[in-house]
Amino acid sequence: MIWDIQKECMDREELSQLQLERLQSTIHRVYRNVPFYRRVFDKNGIDPDGFGSLEDISKIPFTTKADLRENYPYGLFAVPLREVVRIHTSSGTTGMPIVVGYTKNDLKIWTELVARVLTSGGITKDDVIQIAFNYGLFTGAFGFHYGAEKIGASVIPVSIENPKKQIKILQDYKTTALISTPSYALLIANTLIEMGINPNSLYLKFGLFGAEPWSERMRQEIEEKLKITATDNYGLSEIMGPGVAGECLQKKGLHIQEDHFYFEIIDPQTLQPVKEGEVGELVITTLTKEAFPVLRFRTGDLTRFISGECACGRTFRRIDRIMGRTDDMIIIRGLKIFPSQIEAILHEIQGRQPNYQIVLERNEGIDQITIMLEITEEIFSDMMKEQTQLISKIKERIASELGLPINIKLVEKRSFEKRGEKIKRVIDIR
């Protein structure tokens, strides 16, 4: 099913005309209404009338998270506050939150785009949707909530609850679709197993997961444990919230809502565009946002473009799953590594999604990397020998794949308590 065939299956040439028209009008509005961007344009001698092609966007300097933060709270709004009908903030895992506003039209488009993502993940009006995101300043819950209502599905706004309560609702309310972070879905799945409940006794068919990076292995694990079809979706409050991009049932990348956003992928070091298909930092420009438009926002998220047509019929380009954050990139002894690389190895050896934290320390001038690994039933055996074996196995694999000696510390179960929120993967105390 495709929610809006006319748009989502648009002719590529018509799309680029539409994108150009919208880029031009966005630039005019932003230049006129947002003092920050007016200063950026004037200081760099950029003529707002000088954008004749989409490629011309490269004339504009990037907008960074720091820029957004410095204009806290309302400095980057392009409309007077009385036009704003909703306010959210970014999750603020790092520092001051970023305040974003929505006009009536912004909310309408947001709802529409979430409806597209939900539909592409298999949701129809017949579904009963359990939303297990925190209702509050965070965009996740409200974004999905209105999109699901738009489709006509039945929405259960559970929010974050203890997993047993989620499971009771899954069972009693005959939930057919779960919306949460992937790690929270896994927590529910594992609790289900602990409680000895057969997943086949649930009505659950689909899961749409996002708001944090997850791997293909983790998808398989969730799908097997919950007996569902799980798709990935992408969004961020600074741009809009959920609905920016989403996987279709082909599960081969996330379709970008290209009629509303323009995506670029750059090398975070050189700031130049990467070669087609290479991994880099995602940069997004909004094409229709009224209250909080942003030009070339550096998301800090790492991904790559997927080339070729998708079998689902949508013509919108795809990006790969988010592979990590540029700020998660660890530079240690001159090596660049991502937590996702370590995670993949741990997952493979343990055969399940690992819970871990990476601690970086400096000892007598030498950088040390320690993985704090949560004990699972499998490792928690009295056999010291087995534990030592496991540790040395992980050490070996990481040393051979990443070329890096590491330390491993086993910690108690649920040491990194997650209540649906993002876990800080890297602690740098160097």
Partner 1 sequence: MLKIKNLDVYYGKLYTLKKVSLHLNKGEIVALIGSNGAGKTTLLNTISGLIKPASGIISLEGKDLTKLTPEKIVREGIAQVPEGRHVFKTLSVEENILLGAYSRYSLKTKREIKENIEKIYELFPKLKERKKQLAGTLSGGEQQMLAIGRALMSKPKLLLLDEPSMGLAPNIIKEVFSYIVDLKRVFALTVLLVEQNAKNALKISDRGYVLETGRVILEGSAEDLLMNRDVQRAYLGRDLDAEVRI
Contact positions toward partner 1, by CB under 8 A?
14, 17-18, 20-22, 24-25, 28-29, 32-33, 49-52, 74, 77, 79-81, 83, 103-105, 108-109, 288, 290
Write down the least CB distance from residue 214 to partner 1, Å. 35
Cα 374 to Cα 49, 349, 405: the distances in Å are 56, 14, 20
Write down the least CB distance from residue 363 to partner 1, Å. 51
Q: Which is nearer to partner 1, 33 or 368 (CB)?
A: 33
DSSP 8-state secondary structure symbol assigned to residue 273: B
3-class state of residue 206 by DSSP = strand
Q: Which is nearer to partner 1, 53 or 200 (CB)?
A: 53
3-class state of residue 208 by DSSP = strand
Q: Which is nearer to partner 1, 20 or 187 (CB)?
A: 20
Cα 416 to Cα 167, 215, 355, 403, 423: the distances in Å are 21, 19, 8, 27, 7
Burial of 410: CB neighbours in 10 Å, binned 0-12, 13-18, 19+: middle
Positive or negative, the CA dihedral 334, 301, 246, 219 is: positive
Q: Which is nearer to partner 1, 14 or 309 (CB)?
A: 14
End-to-end Cα, the chain, rounded Å: 50
Write down the least CB distance from residue 85 to partner 1, Å. 10
Following DSSP, what letter does each residue of 47-83 receive, concatenated? -TT---SGGGGGGSPPB-HHHHHHTTTTTT-SS-GGG
Q: Which letter, b or e, does each residue of 315-337 get, where b requires 16 or more Cβ atoms within 10 Å of its Cβ?
A: bbbbbbbbbbbbebbbebeeeeb
DSSP 8-state secondary structure symbol assigned to residue 379: T
Write down the least CB distance from residue 15 to partner 1, Å. 11
Following DSSP, what letter does each residue of 393-412 receive, concatenated? HHHHHHHHHH----EEEEE-
Q: Which is nearer to partner 1, 32 or 424 (CB)?
A: 32
Write down the least CB distance from residue 146 to partner 1, Å. 16
Q: Which is nearer to partner 1, 84 or 373 (CB)?
A: 84
Q: Which is nearer to partner 1, 33 or 315 (CB)?
A: 33
Q: Which is nearer to partner 1, 103 or 231 (CB)?
A: 103
Write down the least CB distance from residue 74 to partner 1, Å. 6
Write down the least CB distance from residue 369 to partner 1, Å. 47
Per the document, the length of the chain is 430
Q: Which is nearer to partner 1, 133 or 292 (CB)?
A: 292
Write down the least CB distance from residue 315 to partner 1, Å. 16
Write down the least CB distance from residue 240 to partner 1, Å. 15
In whole angstroms, give the CA distance from residue 152 to residue 234: 22
State residue 253 phi and psi, 5-degree precision. Answer: 110, 160
DSSP 8-state secondary structure symbol assigned to residue 281: E
Write down the least CB distance from residue 25 to partner 1, Å. 5
Task: List Cβ<8 Å contacts ≥24 apart for 7-10.
Answer: 7/259, 8/116, 8/255, 8/314, 8/315, 8/316, 9/313, 9/314, 9/315, 10/259, 10/315, 10/316
Q: Which is nearer to partner 1, 41 or 51 (CB)?
A: 51
